[in-house]
Amino acid sequence: MIKTNNLENKNSVSETPQRTRTLSGRKPDDLEVIRSVREGNTSDFSILMDRYKNKAFSLILRMLKNRMDAEEVLQDCFVKAWKNLDSFKGDSQFATWFYRIVYNTTLTKLTGKKRETEKEMLSIGEDVDIRDEHADTSAATLERNRLLGALIAMLTPNQAAVVNLFYLDGLSCEEIAGILDTNVGNVKTLLHRSRATLKNLIQKKNLHEELR
Amino acid sequence: MKHYDEEFFNKMLDDEITAEEKELFFVHIKECTACREQYRLFQSAHTLLLSLTEITAPEEINNLVLKKIMKPAAKKKNEKRFFITVLSGLTVMLLAIFGIVAKFGGTEPKGGNGLFDNLGNFKFDTSILNKILSPFSSISKLISPDSVLLVTLLLSSILVFFLIERTKKN
Ligand SMILES: [Zn+2]
């Protein structure tokens, strides 16, 4: 049987008061969670999943542009992270290490499916629905999301990855270069091209004033 | 008049332009509608991208992943437990044999009737056992037989205790 005496108990009413006292009032950081998982508390891996699943899913879906494939890849990414957890030395952040797995797994999926060329040919008007079902649904937000959805559909997987990591995760171009295994110059080019694409979209659709 | 390019607008957004260059740019866009418009469009694109939100992952993802990773983990643990049990069992057996030989090795059955000798002790015929276990016997002869048996019993008890504890934990 797998031990269920996990780290989540530290933040709630716990049966192990000593452990609670040592970490009370704060969430265990990624390294603490990883240590616990390595000690055999497999279910603590859920803490890491809760922390990164939405961000990873956003990255995968924006690169793949297909929800079913994205769900499958997300599972694969977590299973890979679990299997390779021993190779995570802690000299970089877990997020960066994990995003590298996410990016590479998604690329492998793309290579297998040859989906990218198909999706890149989508015209501006065709909106691939990769918006968040749970997001705010006010008119202004809907319009903004629609535009963003249309933009992401027009981006190449690499551009989508850079935009997502830069704007959503707030990573620097240097960190993104590490994840994509490329140089900072390439990351900046991808970012600038994405902005230019969106700029052209706004210009073409005459949405400049609406977005102000 | 020389206009500003996309690279410059991007650098403006990333704050990679010197104060001097910025000043020149703002003077320029006061006069140049084209550059002013382009810069505004880039600003709108940048603002729009800043509003990028997380997409919620499917709810069942944790369970699906845990199911996948817990199966091999449990299997691995079971294999390890089985290996430890077998190893411990073999050690106990070996120690027990060693102890028996140490106690009775080299002695011939004493007189008496049936299963008991003259002193009423259980009669243990070690003649065949001695042949099989002669290497153990020669080692054990170097040490006092009683102390070896005592140590064997002690070690066996410790091993059995650990085995029970391990089974309880798992
Ligand atoms: Zn100009």
- CATH code of the domain containing A60: 1.10.1740.10
Complex prediction ipTM? 0.78
pLDDT confidence of A14, banded at 50, 70, 90? very low
pLDDT (average), residues B53-63: 94
**Residues A73 and A149 reside in one and the same domain:** no
Answer whether A135's CB lies under 8 Å from B53's CB.
yes
Q: Which residue carries 């040592």 as its tokens?
A: A22
Which band of pLDDT confidence, cut at 50, 70 and 90, is reported for residue B137?
Answer: low
pLDDT at position A211: 60
**Chain-wide mean pLDDT for chain B?**
78
Domain residues for the domain of A121 are 116-212
Does the beta-carbon distance from B57 to A54 stay under 8 Å?
yes
The reply to whether B164 touches chain A by the CB within 8 Å rule is: no
Q: Which of A94, A114, A134 is the last residue of a domain?
A: A114
Kindly provide the residue ranges of all beta strands, DSSP E only, lying in B76-158, ordered along the sequence: none
Tens-digit pLDDT profile for residues A44-96: 999 999 999 999 999 999 999 999 999 999 999 999 999 999 899 888 899 99
A101 and A13 housed in the same domain: yes
What is the pTM (predicted TM-score) of this model?
0.66
Give residue B82's pLDDT. 76
Q: Mention every residue, 6+ apart, whose C-beta is less than 8 A from residue A84.
A: A101
**Highest mean pLDDT pick, B19-28, B94-103, B126-135:** B19-28
Shared-domain flag, residues A53 and A92: yes
Three-state secondary structure call for residue B116: strand
DSSP summary character for residue A167: I
Name the strand (E) or helix (H) holding A169.
none
Write the pLDDT tens digit of every residue in A97-110: 999 999 999 999 99
Paired tokens of B4 = 């500003």
Return residues 19-78 of B near A (CB < 8 Å). Answer: 38, 40-42, 44-58, 61-62, 64-66, 68-70, 73-74
SS3 B105: coil
Mutation site for A-interface testing, chosen from B55, B60, B80, B166 by largest number of A Cβ within 10 Å: B55
Q: Is residue A86 located within the same domain as residue A149?
A: no
Is A150 found in the same domain as A123? yes
Q: What is the mean pLDDT of residues A179-186?
A: 97
Number of domains in chain A: 2
Domain endpoint, select from A96, A114, A132: A114
Mean local confidence (pLDDT), A21-48: 79
Q: Give me the residue label for tokens 């957890």.
A: A85
Is pLDDT larger for residue A210 or for residue A47?
Answer: A47
| Statement to judge: residues A69 and A129 lie in one domain | no
